[in-house]
Structure 1
Amino acid sequence: MHASTPVLPGLPDRQAEMRTGGLYWLACESPDTADRLCTQLLTSLPSSARALLVNAAGASHDLVKAIPAERGPGHLTLFDLPSMSPNRMIQALRQDVPRVRGGEQALWLIRVPHKGWDELVAQSLALWCSRAQDWLRSVGSTLLVVGDTPPPALVDILIRHNDNLSGLAQVYVAQGARHLLVHFWSNESGVTGLHDFHLLDEGSGFRVSPRPDDDGAAPIANDQRQVLAQTAVLAGEAPPTAQWQLFDDPYALLERGMDAQAATVIFALNGSDDVNALATRLYQLRSHCGRSVRLVVREMLQGLRQHEEQLLLASGANLVVPHGTPFLRFLTLVRSIQGHRWQRPLAAEPSTLLARLQPLQVRGSLSPRAFAAAVKKMTDNTVGTEVRHQLLRLQPLPTLSPSVVLQQLQLRRYGDIACIAGEVPYLFLFACSPSLVEAALRNVFRLPWQTVLGGFESVVPSQVLAMAQFQSDAVAEVDATLLDPVDAPPDVEALRPLRPQSISLQALESRQ
């Protein structure tokens, strides 16, 4: 029998071993994590093993160069796939993998990028999984697919097709820690369901941490089914059960919540202006009542930013329900956390969290030196959290100058800043995930951004801000306003004065 175990110290065999003929899938939150786990898996294989590595997300040699000569499988074959669309990649894997000689009685490791793997590839993916599993059984091999940055739809698609998958796991970051979520896993030990593990980065590799200390037995409380909630969270609906106790005033809810042992306490969030005060209430409840109390926030008005949501979670919330969630879905989410214990370390005081997870009180156009300093400060503040920022190198259309691009920006939110460094415009978007960049560009440009930019490139701050272009103190054409947080006015757009521009007749004639 051929069986392979990805060596993650601390991970039970029933969630690690892979059986012969099995097709397994691991979706990672970043390319770096996916690459490192591939290298760690290959390093852990015994010298008697035969493995084949197919890399569609880079060069195979980059994944194996760190494996010591005395470690790893005795026979390792490497293949690279060029960049292609998801459907073409699935088709290439379906056609080419079974043709490879030496693929019998072996472990196949396929590294893929998950960009674009959405509902449009669902049918092709289901067909490939079905055929791949049939082929694996016929040749006595095992296949593990490792991908990075999966879109939200992908995991749902794979779960729907679990009949053709032997296991599905996911690495994600939540509440400042990396987790390994095993959705389901089957091997010779049987089938296991959902399990969530902490995944620790030890530099040389990852390991699964022991389960968090439960502080002894779970407390015996007679309020586990009780729900204490602000009346506003029902949005006009009737209380679902007699166990719901409603409060019109959040301060009255806070006072009553201080007596809770394992109840669910639900606050309404009516806007971004209330985030800091609500974070303080959550912190008070969490520090006083312990980890068994379940704290929920329901967003009643749209506008919660990523860093504000992370502030609420870090202050003690188990769950933040987004604006627009249907009432029945909201109730399902509340029920889904029954029995959960809050696991995140609690900060010494909430002011520390507020300082780390809020942007600097600056927005608009800055000099390159001030821009670099602000970007570094904001990125350093949020290290170790789930807050992600985007530093974009903008590419103006050939007919437009960098200054014209900056004039078209309307940066309303604090932390969103821009500059021109070395005749190149840069834009920093605070708390913006990669999937929302184009939506953010639609919001910050006065005109459709495609009429101003030929494109944009996401760059790493540490690799860009040290360049000589960012040492200039030249004042940008439109200055940002640095504000003390106490005196900062509401986050609204300040209208910029129109500036006349001279245009020669010759230039107009040349365009006709």
Structure 2
Amino acid sequence: MPSWRWLLHSSTPVLPGLPDRQAEMRTGGLYWLACESPDTADRLCTQLLMSLPASARALLVNAAGASRDLVKAIPDDRGPGHLTLFDLPAMSPRRMIQAVRQDVPRVRGGEQAIWLIRVPHKGWDELVAESLALWCSRAQDWLRSVGSTLLVVGDTPPPALLDILLRHNDNISGLAQVYVAQGARHLLVHFWSNDAGVNGPHDFLLLDEGNGFRVSPRPEDDNAAPIANDQRQVLADTAVLAGEAPPTAQWQLFDDPDALLERGMDAQAATVIFALSGTDDVNALARRLYQLRSHCGRAVKLVVREMLQGLRQHEEQLLLASGANLVVPLGTPFLRFLTLVRSIQGHRWQRPMAAEPSALLARLQPLQVRGSLSPRAFAAAAKKMADNTVGTEVRHQLLRLQPLPTLTPAVVLQQLQLRRYGDIACIAGDVPYLFLFACSPSLVDAALRNVFRLPWQDVLAGYESVLPSQVLSMAQFQSDESAPVDALVLEPTDAQPDVEAFRPLQPQKISLQALEARQ
């Protein structure tokens, strides 16, 4: 029985590097790939189709968008010789499972073919477990009967879904997951069954090379390496103690970060701790960390302790990507700080090392632009910033704003006060858009409170978070016409972090007259 080599086969131009035992799909098999974001899922679907030989027959079912969007980047001389496209409208997970279960076996030309089904994973929880298990069982029976192979590619899986799929592994031939951790994208193959047998879990780095992904083995601990004689030594900036006494005699303190760097260059497995006094020092500290990590290797432990101003998300990721094992947040009690330092003893730094630090600085910092732009300039800047941080834990928000019925898009932009570099706005097709650099989904409401001069609910009826890859290529973003009203631009020094403000309650005196007046 023949087996299909999927998107991770080492001999194809797509994601080279994965061993064959995790690269082949057997005929009659149902495989599942869960990705951390819709953009990654879409790109992997496109790469899979592009890597198929001209002799292959493929069918694409897209329940997460338009199929044509996934294939428009495939050159005419690449991809399968026969490709059939299907779109499914948005529907609940149960209805979608039922629709696929009923409709897929009816499609003509599905024999001896590779099926690719792209799905959104939102709402896939324990309530869909029974329907999903039944579909997987029937799908494998049908695939075997027609000599075909099926790969499901989904995005943003809830934890319950992976548990469900692992629980029903008898009805699934393979399960893999793309996730982001410690600033790097990973491919975790939970299990993979093919003609070579069943392969257990294995974690790979998934590297983004701009025009495609490839996999790389994770840096492994060198068990044969001798234990360094300085592994219990701590070299630290005096400021990290915040007035406390050194915990042990093995702590050596330095008042000058350059002196700490010079001494740290001799470290083998010691712990080197830097104090970060403000965000103005982030870039210089990132370069010091990179120097140490490049020179001393993976066994040295590099720690950063925030002392004054809170870091933004992309700045923390910059420090971690430059070589830090740990960034201790502002406000961490001293004893907790010492516990965190002890917790990384014996660890080796596992991230991929950049070729040189300036590339990291360029990737993880916003463009020096803010305020309202023309649609074309907005799209170019937003895409550039989104592309720069692919593969990191930095998340941006592209919001389609919905003004109140009484307000025009121009009035909405007039109410914006964009302080931070990377926060930009535009009006495209009479619709206002807002791009927030390094803003996680949980902080969107807090960010909107910061960027609107009025409470944002007094300006907007709502907003919708959209994917740059699905929106910025639309025709309305090809205009060079500037917005009729510019968003207010403030100096970056006036920027406030996008965090919830929790203030301690204070007792207040109130007279009975005032209370009666309020009634």
TM value normalised by structure 1:
0.68
Alignment of 1:439-478 (within 5 A): 439-456=446-463, 458=466, 466-470=478-482, 476=486
**Which position in structure 1 is the counterpart of 2:289?**
282
SS in 1 for 2:448: helix
**Which position in structure 1 is the counterpart of 2:434?**
427
Q: CA RMSD, aligned part only?
A: 5.2
- Determine whether 1:345 maps to 2:345: no
User: Structure 1 CA distance, aligned partners of 2:78 and 2:361?
Assistant: 49
Which of residues 118, 126, 130 is equivalent to 1:127? 130
CA contact (8 A) 1:228 1:253 kept: no
CA contact (8 A) 1:110 1:143 kept: yes
1:234 is displaced (CA, Å) by 10
CA contact (8 A) 2:240 2:307 kept: yes
Unaligned segments of structure 1, at least 5 residues: 494-512
Which of residues 470, 478, 489 is equivalent to 1:480? 489
**Which position in structure 2 is the counterpart of 1:502?**
none
User: Structure 2 CA distance, aligned partners of 1:420 and 1:455?
Assistant: 16
SS in 2 for 1:261: coil
User: Structure 1 CA distance, aligned partners of 2:29 and 2:143?
Assistant: 9
User: Structure 1 CA distance, aligned partners of 2:100 and 2:177?
Assistant: 22
User: Structure 1 CA distance, aligned partners of 2:185 and 2:368?
Assistant: 30
1:340 is displaced (CA, Å) by 4.0
SS in 2 for 1:275: helix
Task: Give CA deviations for 1:277-307 in whole Å, capped at 9, x if unaligned.
Answer: 4324313322432344343446678943232
Matched length: 468
CA contact (8 A) 1:2 1:106 kept: no
TM value normalised by structure 2:
0.67
**Which position in structure 1 is the counterpart of 2:203?**
195
Alignment of 1:85-124 (within 5 A): 85-93=92-100, 108-114=115-121, 116-117=122-123, 121-124=124-127
Letter in 1 for 2:5: T
User: Structure 1 CA distance, aligned partners of 2:98 and 2:242?
Assistant: 48
1:145 is displaced (CA, Å) by 1.1
Farther off after superposition, 172-181 or 132-141: 172-181
Letter in 2 for 1:222: A
SS in 2 for 1:18: strand
Unaligned segments of structure 2, at least 5 residues: 11-16, 498-519
**Which position in structure 2 is the counterpart of 1:5?**
5
1:256 is displaced (CA, Å) by 5.0
SS in 2 for 1:147: strand
Task: Give CA deviations for 1:40-60 in whole Å, capped at 9, x if unaligned.
Answer: 545666799776543212345
CA contact (8 A) 1:26 1:146 kept: yes
Distance 1:318 1:157, change over 3 A: farther
Task: Give CA deviations for 1:189-233 in whole Å, capped at 9, x if unaligned.
Answer: 332222214446585x65546x5999x997544158547476998
1:3 is displaced (CA, Å) by 3.5
- Determine whether 1:56 maps to 2:63: yes
**Which position in structure 1 is the counterpart of 2:516?**
none
1:82 is displaced (CA, Å) by 1.2
Alignment of 1:31-46 (within 5 A): 31=38, 33-42=40-49
- Determine whether 1:400 maps to 2:412: no
CA contact (8 A) 2:396 2:437 kept: yes
1:146 is displaced (CA, Å) by 0.5
User: Structure 2 CA distance, aligned partners of 1:68 and 1:260?
Assistant: 54
CA contact (8 A) 1:228 1:264 kept: yes
Alignment of 1:102-501 (within 5 A): 108-114=115-121, 116-117=122-123, 121-136=124-139, 138-139=141-142, 141=144, 142-148=149-155, 150=156, 153-154=158-159, 157-159=161-163, 161-165=165-169, 166-171=173-178, 180-187=187-194, 188-199=196-207, 201=209, 203=211, 207-208=214-215, 220-222=226-228, 226=232, 228=234, 251=257, 254=261, 256-267=263-274, 272=279, 274-297=281-304, 303-318=310-325, 320=327, 335=344, 338-347=347-356, 354=361, 357-359=364-366, 368=373, 380=384, 383-386=387-390, 389-402=396-409, 404-406=411-413, 408-418=415-425, 425-433=432-440, 436-456=443-463, 458=466, 466-470=478-482, 476=486, 479-481=488-490, 489=493, 491=495
User: Structure 2 CA distance, aligned partners of 1:422 and 1:99?
Assistant: 40
Letter in 2 for 1:134: S
1:185 is displaced (CA, Å) by 3.0
1:401 is displaced (CA, Å) by 3.8
1:162 is displaced (CA, Å) by 1.5
CA contact (8 A) 2:306 2:329 kept: yes
SS in 1 for 2:489: coil
1:398 is displaced (CA, Å) by 1.7
Letter in 1 for 2:201: G
Task: Give CA deviations for 1:112-170 in whole Å, capped at 9, x if unaligned.
Answer: 123x24xxx3203433443344335544645421123x15x34x640564232443323
Letter in 1 for 2:353: R
**Which position in structure 2 is the counterpart of 1:508?**
none
1:247 is displaced (CA, Å) by 5.6
**Which position in structure 2 is the counterpart of 1:15?**
22
Distance 1:405 1:88, change over 3 A: same
1:31 is displaced (CA, Å) by 4.5
User: Structure 2 CA distance, aligned partners of 1:22 and 1:236?
Assistant: 63
User: Structure 2 CA distance, aligned partners of 1:273 and 1:21?
Assistant: 57
**Which position in structure 2 is the counterpart of 1:506?**
none
Farther off after superposition, 229-238 or 382-391: 229-238
Letter in 1 for 2:4: S
Identity %: 62
Letter in 2 for 1:480: V
User: Structure 1 CA distance, aligned partners of 2:426 and 2:52?
Assistant: 50
Task: Give CA deviations for 1:298-345 in whole Å, capped at 9, x if unaligned.
Answer: 6678943232123213422345566799969x8599559824454222
1:110 is displaced (CA, Å) by 1.7
User: Structure 2 CA distance, aligned partners of 1:287 and 1:450?
Assistant: 49
SS in 2 for 1:84: coil
